[in-house]
């Protein structure tokens, strides 16, 4: 199942209602952020490697 991310901008107070299971363009909405998640620094930063996982892999070699 493919997933896509769309970002819409609305005037304050003119945001449409959103609910679980809502459909849009033939797909079902499965998650929604009620803020601009792309502007949140922890979302936009590059992911950091899982150092514990990397250490486990190194120990196997």
Domain ranges of the chain: 1-61
27 in helix, strand or coil?
strand
* Res 51 pLDDT > 70: yes
**Contact assessment for residue 21 and residue 30, using Cβ atoms and an 8 Å cutoff:** no
Output the pTM of the full model. 0.44
Q: How far apart are CA 61 and CA 57, in angstroms?
A: 7
Q: How far apart are CA 52 and CA 18, in angstroms?
A: 38
User: How many CA atoms lie less than 13 Å away from 56 in the CB half-sphere?
Assistant: 5
Q: How far apart are CA 51 and CA 55, in angstroms?
A: 6
Structure confidence at residue 41 as a pLDDT band (50, 70, 90): low
Average pLDDT over residues 15-42: 78
Structure confidence at residue 46 as a pLDDT band (50, 70, 90): low
* Res 49 pLDDT > 70: no
């Amino acid at each position: 199942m493919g997933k896509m991310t769309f970002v819409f901008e609305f005037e304050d107070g003119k945001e449409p209602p959103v609910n679980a299971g809502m459909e849009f363009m033939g797909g079902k909405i499965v998650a929604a952020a009620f803020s601009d998640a792309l502007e949140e620094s922890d979302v936009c930063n590059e992911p950091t490697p899982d150092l514990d996982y990397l250490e486990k892999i190194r120990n196997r070699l």
